[in-house]
Structure formats: C-alpha cells, structure tokens
C-alpha cells in the first residue's frame, strides 16, 4: 500500500495537475514514467480536510451509525473523494473516514477562503463528524498565517478545553453571587 496515495494525494494532484493514481496504475502495467521531476510544476495552493465520523469533543470517539442526509459542496476548485451516501451505515469496525474534501485556488488565502465556503456547504447528518472542528481550525489566526506544526491540534484542543472550563467556572461563580 502506498500511504501517500491513501492520505494526501488529492493535494498533490490539485497543485500539479497530475493524476497520481492513473500514473501509478500505468507504471504497475509496465509502462514507463511519463514525467521527469523538472516537468512537474507546482501551481497555486491546495488544502485537504479529512471528514471523519468522530466526535472531536469526546477525544475523537468514533461515531458509527446511519447517515440520514448528506450534502457535498461543488464548484470550481472543489473536490470530494468519498464512498458514502445518504442511508449508508458507518460500521464500528473500520476507519471512520467519510470523505476527503480538497480545494485548490491561486494562493493560500484564496484556498483557505474556498475551503471555508466548501465546509459551510457540506452537511453530514446522522453521526458526529469533524466539519465544525475544521471550520474552527481554519478560523484560527495561527492556521491562517501558516504558523502551526504537527503537534498544533493537540495544543489547540487543550487551549479550547481550558477556555471552556474557565468560561463555565465564571458562569457558575456569577450564578452563585447573584
């Protein structure tokens, strides 16, 4: 298995215009590689959000169940790779991935804006999912400015939990002094 194809190939395909799966299949059939590295030109910016049947508020607990309704975004520069449909039942035994939502635009700020629109147009009903988490992350100034790292999500989630706890404590304290 090629994990690059499994996880993030839509981003590479969007910025290069090369269908990586087709090229891998051609090579597997004994055909020569059609490109040299210097022929691959990167253009624009692409972002991918992995939409999962998970509850981010409960440590990403899987959310098996029946998808009662789905609405995917569309338009130029928007790509949805999925296997699910309204009525599909998410089993508890497998990966919780519902779809890979990828967008492309001329630069990173435009791609971020396009992804925010695509997420707003997406609706997954019947199971908990990660749409709202992605929307909140994309609104974060550090993410918008590209100031994040591989451990950023954990830090961001811990900070959000601490802020929620502080707000709850403040509400409870205010209720006691009234």
DSSP letter string over 69-94?
EEE---STTEEEEE---TT-EE-TTS
The tens digit of pLDDT for each residue in 10-65 reads: 999 999 999 998 998 999 899 998 989 999 999 999 999 999 999 999 999 999 99
Q: What is the model's pTM?
A: 0.86
4 flagged as catalytic: yes
| Active-site residue, from 4, 22, 34, 58 | 4
**What pLDDT is attached to residue 7?**
66
Residue 137's pLDDT band, with cuts at 50, 70 and 90, is: very high
**What pLDDT is attached to residue 2?**
59
Task: Give the Cα separation of 81 and 100 in Å (integer).
Answer: 5
Helices marked H in the chain — which ranges?
Answer: 3-7, 9-16, 20-28, 108-121, 131-139, 141-144, 152-177
> Structure tokens of 110?
């435009």
């Amino acid at each position: 298995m090629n994990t690059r194809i499994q996880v993030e190939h839509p981003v590479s395909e969007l910025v290069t215009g090369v269908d990586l799966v087709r090229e891998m299949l051609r090579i597997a059939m004994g055909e020569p590689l059609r490109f040299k590295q210097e022929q691959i030109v990167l253009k624009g910016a692409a972002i991918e959000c992995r939409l999962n049947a998970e509850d981010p508020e409960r440590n990403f607990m899987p959310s098996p169940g029946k998808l009662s309704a789905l609405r995917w975004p569309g338009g130029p520069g928007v790509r949805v790779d999925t296997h699910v449909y309204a009525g599909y039942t998410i089993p508890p035994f497998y990966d919780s991935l519902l779809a890979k939502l990828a967008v492309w635009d001329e630069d990173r700020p435009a791609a971020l804006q396009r992804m925010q629109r695509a997420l707003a147009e997406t609706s997954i009903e019947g199971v908990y999912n990660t749409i709202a988490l992605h929307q909140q992350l994309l609104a974060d100034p550090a993410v918008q400015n590209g100031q994040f790292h591989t451990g950023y999500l954990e830090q961001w989630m811990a900070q959000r939990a601490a802020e929620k706890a502080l707000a709850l404590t403040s509400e409870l304290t205010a209720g006691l002094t009234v």
